[in-house]
Amino acid sequence: MKKIKRIGVFTSGGDSPGMNSAVRAVVRTAINYKLEVYGIHRGYKGMIRGEFEKMTSKSVAHIIQQGGTFLRSARSKEFRTIEGRKKAYTNLVKNKIDAVVVIGGDGSFKGAGIFSQEYDIPFVGMPGTIDNDMFGTDYTIGFDTALNTVTEAIDKIKDTAHSHDRTFFIEVMGRDAGFIALKAGIATGAEMVLIPEIEGQEEKLEKYLSTTKKTSSIIIVAEGNNVGGAEKIAKAFGKRFKEHGVRVNVLGHMQRGGSPTAFDRYLASRLGVAAVDALMDNQRSVMMGYANHEVVHVPFNKTIKGKRGIGEELLRVNEILSK
């Protein structure tokens, strides 16, 4: 493998708090190794269009506390094609990029893995997603911030719920995974949590509403659960249980924004350093994960094929404390 002199870094997929912290860490670690580093704007789309910008230590000053991603992010159908990846490769060669760090989810890593097989440019990844559903890591960049955002919002809604003895269905993100919903449920003392991983929750919800006297209740709904979204559930059950004074609150994209927590800044910084270290160690097609408070290297194919379970212990804790 040829000696690395210049690397690229980009963010891909949905934005998550801490991505800027991650880019900062990659840029400054690369400079520490006497490497040149280029930021690639708008993910794979920018790679195809040639949106490259040389980064300096000053380029990433004062961004560690900012949410979102200053490099922007975008989906790219074109990169899924052979022709699109060829354009991306041409631009990487044109800009003399020897290796790339990608910050994103499993879809981003899948694209990077395919690209690295077709062309001799190593990619390493960092898990950036609020869903915390990446296989091989205990935490993803952005999850802690999103969880704190949800917890703060629910705490405020609980005040109104208690004042009027109302039942609130609060929808949080989680199309395929219920980590935000479940951990927020435990953190806020929610009466029930509906998540994609559990079947038969409709009967349990009906039993709860039919046997509970009029009182304030918080029911957290992960958007991808098998019963339906918060509005659909509230419409169906609100008519049958009018005494609960059912209300709905969809938190939506506010969960992705905001200044990252100290933990997300720390996690992104540590993984960013590890990503550049891995490239300098001639590694490729691996994700920098965080397990048992240590950085781990997980092959892209494992992060893509593996599925992270919600964990029986978390379900048990929630079951005990929500009674």
Phi-psi region of 85 (alpha: psi -120 to 50; beta: other; left: phi over 0): alpha
Considering the candidates 131, 133, 144, 264, report the single residue annotated as catalytic: 131
| Residues 301 and 113: beta-carbon distance below 8 Å | yes
Active site residue 131: yes
Task: Output the furthest CA–CA distance in the chain (Å, rounded).
Answer: 70
CA–CA distance, 225 with 230 (Å, rounded to integer): 10
Question: Residue 55 corresponds to which tokens in the numbers above?
Answer: 């980064």
| Residues 16 and 130: beta-carbon distance below 8 Å | yes
CA–CA distance, 115 with 121 (Å, rounded to integer): 8
CA–CA distance, 135 with 126 (Å, rounded to integer): 12
CA–CA distance, 46 with 202 (Å, rounded to integer): 44
Question: Residue 171 corresponds to which tokens in the numbers above?
Answer: 């929808």
b (16+ CB within 10 A) / e for 87-117: bbbebbeebebbbbbbbbbbbbbbbbbbbbe
CA–CA distance, 264 with 118 (Å, rounded to integer): 33
| Residues 29 and 272: beta-carbon distance below 8 Å | yes
Alpha helices in 124-229 (DSSP H): 143-164, 179-188, 201-211
Q: Which amino acids are annotated catalytic?
A: 131
